[in-house]
Amino acid sequence: MQLKFSKWHGCGNDFVLVNGFNENINDIQEHSAAICDRHFGVGADGVILTLPSKTCDFRMQIFNSDGTEAEMCGNGIRCFALDAYKSGLTDKLSFTVETKAGIMRPRLTADNKASVCVNMGEPVLAGEQIPVKGCGSEHIINKQITVDDNQFYITCVSMGNPHCVIFVDDIKKIDINKWGPVLEKYEIFPNKTNVEFVQVINRTHLRMRVWERGAAITLACGTGACASLVASVLNDLCDRKARLELDGGDLAIAWDETDNNVYMTGPAKKVFEGIYYSE
């Protein structure tokens, strides 16, 4: 297989983007883990496909570096949108993208600097829809769980993909490599979950680190930043608009009170193009 791709990142969360209009992408999911391998492949947190859609301007598919398909990717869709515009697939500055998490609406800034605002839709809070087992339609806000004799207080939010948000006093003291995988696969999460650890700096500044479902620690997670903002508002720890400071950069997240949609604004950067060869 030969595959033309472009390599992008959003706050250091990096992706191999493949244009499904031109490339043969039939069995790409089974190759996605190999493509993402940082020694034997291109190296990335995920593979993102740009595809036609019957209902929207485009369709986006996202595969994690372990080969699993996710419903949505916040950093990825900013890269997706800027790539679609810069590669001439569209001349529109705002358009619709069909995803497994619903229709997303990226908007590019007129002077085409590499900042993209995305309407990420409404957060889902009912336990059974996130999903979190055994909670019915209850919202999971600051709920105590005990995992391997350790207590955690979790707030769960879906942005189309599941997130478990945990507030900590000092982000530097959390062993994410230990607790991330344990919580990702914890029994109450039937589809597993992304895990965000959040330190509240003040009511308009959150510091977040993430263990991503299917990708382990990444430098940033856009859907996770949205979920972290929503969880912080639900716990009255921050305002509805805040700076999310991630390992790889900052995102501006706002949960609009009038339309209940979450808006994410942040950078997207193209690093290189190439051809991937697989035996």
Ligand X SMILES: N[C@H](CCC[C@H](N)C(=O)O)C(=O)O
d(CA 239, CA 258): 15
Q: Are 270 and 112 in contact (CB under 8 A)?
A: no
Give the active site residue among 11, 36, 73, 164. 73
- How many residues touch ligand X under the rule CB under 6 A: the total is 20
Q: Which stretch binds ligand X (CB under 6 A): 1-9, 71-79, 182-190, 229-237?
A: 71-79
Please confirm, yes or no, whether 135 is among the known catalytic residues: no
Instruction: Tell the smallest beta-carbon distance from residue 76 to ligand X (Å).
Output: 6
Does 222 participate in binding ligand X (rule CB under 6 A)? yes
Q: What x/- string results for residues 114 through 153 when contact with ligand X is judged by CB under 6 A? A: ----------------------------------------
Q: Which of 16, 25, 36, 74 binds ligand X (CB under 6 A)?
A: 74
Nearest-angstrom CA–CA distance, 227 and 52: 28
- Confirm whether 221 is a catalytic residue: yes
Give the per-residue SS3 of the chain: CEEEEEEEEECCEEEEEEECCCCCCCCHHHHHHHHHCCCCCCCCCEEEEEECCCCCCEEEEEEECCCCEECCCHHHHHHHHHHHHHCCCCCCCECCEEECCEEEEEEECCCCCCEEEEECCCCECEHHHCCCCCCCCCECCCEEEEECCEEEEEEEEECCCEEEEEECCCHHHCCHHHHHHHHHCCCCCCCCCEEEEEEEEECCEEEEEEEECCCEEECCCHHHHHHHHHHHHHCCCCCCEEEEEECCEEEEEEECCCCCCEEEEEECEEEEEEEEECC
Which of 24/38 has CB closer to ligand X?
38
Compare residues 74 and 106 and give the one whose CB is closer to ligand X: 74
161 is a contact residue toward ligand X (CB under 6 A): yes
Mask for 14-53, x = binds ligand X (CB under 6 A): --------------------------------x-------
Q: Which is nearer to ligand X, 19 or 228 (CB)?
A: 228
Can you tell me the distance from the alpha carbon of 251 to that of 235, in angstroms, rounded to the nearest whole number?
20
Nearer to ligand X, 62 or 230 (CB): 62
Q: Please give the structure tokens belonging to residue 93.
A: 């500055």
266 belongs to the binding site for ligand X (CB under 6 A): no
Closer CB to ligand X, 131 or 203, in the complex: 131
Residues forming the annotated binding site for substrate? 13, 64, 74-75, 161, 194, 212-213, 222-223
* Using rule CB under 6 A, residue 221 touches ligand X: yes
**Is residue 232 part of the contact set for ligand X (CB under 6 A)?**
no
In the complex, least distance from residue 94 CB atom to ligand X, rounded to whole angstroms: 20
Near ligand X in 185-214, by CB under 6 A? 194, 212-214
- Beta-carbon neighbour count of residue 167 at 10 Å? 21
Residues lying near ligand X in the complex (CB under 6 A): 13, 46, 62, 64, 70, 73-76, 161, 194, 212-215, 218, 221-224
Q: What residues act catalytically? A: 73, 221
